[in-house]
Amino acid sequence: MKILKNPRYQFVFFLSLFFVVNVLQGSLTALFEDEAYYWLWSQNLAFGYFDHPPMVALWVKLGDLFFNGEFGLRFMSTLSFSFMLWVIWLMIDLTSKWQHVALFYLLIVSMTMIQVFGFIITPDTPLLLFTALFLLAYKRFLTEENLLNVIFLGSTMAGMLYSKYHGILVIGFVVLSHWKLLKNKKFWLAAIFGLLLFIPHLIWQYENGFPSFVYHLKERGKKPYSILNTLTHLVNVIAIVGLTFPVIYSALFKQKAKNQFDRALKYMIYGFIIFFFLISFTSEPQAQWLVVILIPLILITFPYFAENLKARKWLIILGSTQLVILMVFRVFLAFPDISPVTLEPHMAKKWIPELRKNTEGKPIVFVNSYRNASIYSFYTGIKTHSYSVLKGRQSQYNLLDYESKIQGEDVFSASTLIKDQPKLADKNHTFIYGKPISNYSTFEKVRCLIDQDNMLIGPGKNEFQVRLINTYGKNITFEEVRFVGVFQGYKNKIIAKVPLEINKISSLAAHQEIILNASFEAPELESYKGSTFRVALEFYHLMEGYQGNKVPVKFGQINANN
């Protein structure tokens, strides 16, 4: 076709091809469980959510306005991915770049993980777009510090932060690459403008007790350090690129920073790799944490491949091989019947019908599984709730009113943790157990507070007081609830549970607060050092929840001198 000999038409052709392929992929592939969770968010638009800032929920909501089903959730992902590619292309200054349009798109294909965000919806999807826009804004700001570029820069800062908190790292490493920005009044004006745009989210965090910050900074990651975490991070550095990693990282090392913008790109790449290497000592690393470095990798390495024939040949060989593998994987992802392995999107259409049948289509309370609750609700339209327990983690279900929507109804519980109940479904060889519950009645948001800086635990019987607060605007009763004392160790691991002897209580009036006397027998532990104690409520024997505050524990002989 003669028209494709024109480089600009080539660019549009390949961009359109990427868009069409992603549209088909997004339409034919069943949801990943996290995508269903973000769909849940979109049903209640707000300036913040338990796990992340709100941009992903807005992305889903906008797509839902135009299309139904899986593709409706993913439409903005497909659209923003194509826009991101165009923005990246705008930032490439190489004069001969129009002679290498096909090379540019091969380089995109050579970055494995960036492909995923062309058709699935996660917080990284808008983050990638706003990172590209931020870099474009910064590039223009370095050239001319006019008001338009100041507004553009501040807006993209806010866009990144509204997408994912990783945006602060992007800004931080750019500033680290160019310390003089801290003396630049125009840069501070852009930062202040971005902060003003971000204030609604900060207000939401304050009004809700900073749930995202508490979770990410204090509660996340409950396993002690393992060398496997650090090794996983190093593998992730390779995995996000894929087969082409030898030539990509070689090009990164060999391509020198020619200006302040290039310097910022390199600081971003190395900064993210080093930062999350350090984080691997306290948390289990995830590959998507590094995904934003693919944008500066593309910008840094494209000129190198365009100007170095030998490196370009290896990129073509490895990139073409990777393209074939990715296309086969995409086909398997969309068509489970021909896939040799069961992938996550394939599971839902097997276990969800089975669970629906065995629970008679009744509402379901999933224990410690906001993912299962979300995807089950998406595909069935049946009311669900995720009951958070200390062995797991809290979620958006703790902030919304899903608990209240199923009060007084006949429901089923569903759990992979409580195995002394009937099997309800098989989720890829992991059984879901559960039982029917009549007239479901819980009050997970009741508070059980110990007003002490620490607790001295001695052998035998220990007594203390707990302040019980009914946070609900209604009376609550205690027929199906049990008070439990929970000892937690490093990274909140549960190390012991003890039944509590507590004042008999039948009910609490709306917003009533009372002081109860409680006692327990001290458990035998190898060490109490670094442990905490809290009071928890257990409803219907579905494990202990998050009602109590953690109090540091000291062990010793309790006597008058203490």
Question: In the 8-state DSSP scheme, what is residue 548?
Answer: B
Report the pLDDT averaged over residues 108-125.
93
The mean predicted confidence, pLDDT, of the chain is: 92
Enumerate the β-bridge partners of residue 484: 499, 536
| Residue of higher predicted confidence among 529 and 514 | 514
Report the pLDDT averaged over residues 10-15.
94
Which amino acid is it at 309?
L
State pLDDT tens for residues 375-408: 999 999 999 999 999 988 899 999 888 899 999 9
Would strands 551-555 and 481-488 be described as parallel, antiparallel, or unpaired? unpaired
Report the pLDDT averaged over residues 110-138.
95
Among 128, 102, 130, 104, residue whose Cα is nearest residue 117: 128
Which helix (H) or strand (E) element contains residue 502? strand 501-502
Do the beta carbons of residue 91 and residue 24 sit within 8 Å?
Answer: no
Do the beta carbons of residue 322 and residue 110 sit within 8 Å?
Answer: yes
State pLDDT tens for residues 15-37: 999 999 999 999 999 999 999 99
Question: In the 8-state DSSP scheme, what is residue 415?
Answer: B
Question: In the 8-state DSSP scheme, what is residue 438?
Answer: S
**Can you spell out the DSSP letters for 210-229?**
-HHHHIIIIIS--S---HHH
Do the beta carbons of residue 347 and residue 8 sit within 8 Å?
Answer: no
In this structure, the chain runs to a length of 562
Is residue 260's pLDDT more than 90? Answer: yes
Is residue 149's pLDDT more than 60? Answer: yes
State pLDDT tens for residues 154-172: 999 999 999 999 999 999 9
Report how far Cα 417 is from the mean position of its chain's Cα atoms.
22
Q: What is the pLDDT of residue 530?
A: 80
Is residue 562's pLDDT more than 70? Answer: no
Helices (H), 283-308: 294-307
Do the beta carbons of residue 315 and residue 322 sit within 8 Å?
Answer: no
Is residue 4's pLDDT more than 70? Answer: no
Report the pLDDT averaged over residues 199-209.
95
Question: In the 8-state DSSP scheme, what is residue 492?
Answer: G
Q: How confident is residue 427, by pLDDT bands cut at 50, 70 and 90?
A: very high
Residue 97 CB partners (closer than 8 Å, separation 6+): 89, 104, 302, 306
Is residue 448's pLDDT more than 50? Answer: yes
Report the pLDDT averaged over residues 488-494.
83
* % of residues, the chain, pLDDT over 70: 97
pTM across the whole model:
0.92
CA distance to 129, 152, 270, 558, per residue, from 461 (Å): 59, 64, 55, 10
Q: How confident is residue 561, by pLDDT bands cut at 50, 70 and 90?
A: very low
Class of domain 447-555: mainly beta
Helix, strand or coil, per DSSP, at residue 67: coil
Residue 420 CB partners (closer than 8 Å, separation 6+): 433
Write phi, then psi, for 137 (nearest 5 degrees): -65, -40
Report the pLDDT averaged over residues 247-271.
96
Do the beta carbons of residue 132 and residue 87 sit within 8 Å?
Answer: yes
Write phi, then psi, for 480 (nearest 5 degrees): -110, 40
Q: What is the pLDDT of residue 560?
A: 44
Q: How confident is residue 342, by pLDDT bands cut at 50, 70 and 90?
A: very high
Write phi, then psi, for 444 (nearest 5 degrees): -65, -20
Please report where in the chains the tokens 């490196």 appear, as a residue. 311
End-to-end CA distance of the chain: 89
State pLDDT tens for residues 63-99: 999 998 999 999 999 999 999 999 999 999 998 999 9
Report the pLDDT averaged over residues 218-233.
78
Q: What is the pLDDT of residue 316?
A: 96
Residue 221 CB partners (closer than 8 Å, separation 6+): 282, 283, 284, 491
Is residue 558's pLDDT more than 60? Answer: no
State pLDDT tens for residues 457-479: 888 899 999 999 999 999 998 88
Q: How confident is residue 506, by pLDDT bands cut at 50, 70 and 90?
A: confident
Is residue 557's pLDDT more than 70? Answer: no
Alpha-carbon dihedral angle through residues 236, 239, 244, 249, given to the nearest 10 degrees = -10
Among 112, 197, 119, 113, residue whose Cα is nearest residue 153: 197
**Can you spell out the DSSP letters for 467-479?**
EEE--SSS-EE-T
Is residue 62's pLDDT more than 70? Answer: yes
State pLDDT tens for residues 358-375: 999 999 999 999 999 999
Would strands 476-477 and 507-508 be described as parallel, antiparallel, or unpaired? antiparallel
Report the pLDDT averaged over residues 169-189.
96
Whole-angstrom distance, CA of residue 296 vs CA of residue 262: 9
State pLDDT tens for residues 300-312: 999 999 999 999 9
Do the beta carbons of residue 470 and residue 443 sit within 8 Å?
Answer: yes
Q: How confident is residue 324, by pLDDT bands cut at 50, 70 and 90?
A: very high
The domain locations on the chain are: 16-96+104-210+217-336, 344-437, 447-555
Q: What is the pLDDT of residue 213?
A: 86
Q: 460: which 2 tokens?
A: 């035998």
